[in-house]
Structure 1
Amino acid sequence: METAQSRQQAAPGAFIAFARFVFCGGGVGLASSFAVAAAASWIPWVLANAVVTVVSTLLATELHARFTFGAGGRATWRQHVQSAGSAAVAYAVTCAAMVVLQQLVAAPGAVLEQVVYLTASALAGVGRFVVLRVVVFARNRSQTAATVGTVRAARPVPAAMTRASVPAEPATLCHAA
């Protein structure tokens, strides 16, 4: 069983997390772009994008929880919901980009559509990284830090120390959490 302290040490820095995010999220996003293009031949593009976005968000959130941000296990329902919120914004960005493309170019080819879609997805992805790191998966790090602080505060106090001479820092840590 993994301790809170070892999970805290396993949380990657921003650069490593971003590299993992690009690998996991970018891989899922790239596969999604082809899935959207394929599905759009059968159903309207907006619906294809919505279906693929839902499926890819579930998959990517699991990958990010387990690998990208070092959360130490499966994503919680709360993390899935929060991640879905950022995915909804990404969906709106990709839809807006495609609508603008349709307004500017009468009959865009598949390559131009992919370039526009992937560019919009990349920009939305950077925003998602920030939201996932700072909001969605940050709780794991702050909860872990609070747990480690609580464990540190619970260490035995030597018998020679009186209650009044115990440093105030541990109590402050407990109230701040």
Structure 2
Amino acid sequence: MTCPSLLTCRPAVDNAVDNVVARVRAEDTLAQFARFVLVGGATTLVYAVLFTVLEGFGYLPAHVAATAVSTVLANEFHRRLTFHAGERVHWLTAQLEAGGVSVIGLFLTSASLGVLNALVPDASVLAQVALVVTVTGLVGLMRFVALRWLFRPRAARTA
């Protein structure tokens, strides 16, 4: 059935959007993973912009600076938005826990960029960012598991 006008079909669209928003705001693992991916995508865009702007200083300094900024931003968004832990987890605790996993990612992405630079010295900025995004995606899965199951607050034990 078609709608006589877009205005009469709008409630169905609004309901669909409301359903998706409600689903993403839920507290189950799938909803948290959806928020994790959204935050990761947004902060990866921040990384890409910073890397591109700073690439004139060399790929490694640009990578380290862009990673540091985007990681701190991602950790804070994950604390507040992904896991709704702003009240339970202090900022520094979140930075240390998630940052520890991110350091592994920094080493892996830096090594990957070093190999790419050795094999293809004239690799484009786009190729370098694509490589970092791929490796970061894999490390992101590791981070999600760590933040969701390893670093979550434990229930108090009763004696």
TM-score bracket relative to the smaller structure: 0.7 to 0.9
Say if 1:11 and 1:79 are closer, same or farther in 2 by CA, change over 3 A.
farther
Percent of paired sites with the same residue: 30
Q: Which of 30, 34, 39 is the aligned partner of 1:15?
A: 30
Is 1:174 the counterpart of 2:158 in the alignment? yes
Bigger RCO of structures 1 and 2 (CA < 8 A, at least 6 apart): 1
Is 1:52 the counterpart of 2:36 in the alignment? no
Assess if the C-alpha contact under 8 Å between 2:32 and 2:83 holds in 1.
yes
Say if 1:56 and 1:106 are closer, same or farther in 2 by CA, change over 3 A.
closer
Say if 1:134 and 1:98 are closer, same or farther in 2 by CA, change over 3 A.
same
Offset at residue 74 of structure 1 (A): 7.3
Say if 1:112 and 1:55 are closer, same or farther in 2 by CA, change over 3 A.
closer
Is 1:87 the counterpart of 2:102 in the alignment? yes
Is 1:71 the counterpart of 2:85 in the alignment? yes
Give the 5 Å matches for 1:1-177: 12-41=27-56, 43-73=57-87, 75-76=89-90, 77-136=92-151, 138-139=152-153, 142-143=154-155, 146=156, 173-175=157-159
User: Matched residue of 1:174: which SS?
Assistant: coil
**What TM-score results when the alignment is normalised by the length of structure 1?**
0.67
Cα distance in 1 for residues equivalent to 2:48 and 2:147? 21
Larger Rg: 1
Aligned twin of 2:14: none
5+ residue gaps, structure 2: 1-24
Cα distance in 2 for residues equivalent to 1:73 and 1:64? 13
Cα distance in 1 for residues equivalent to 2:147 and 2:37? 13
Offset at residue 106 of structure 1 (A): 3.2
Say if 1:23 and 1:98 are closer, same or farther in 2 by CA, change over 3 A.
same
5+ residue gaps, structure 1: 1-9, 147-172
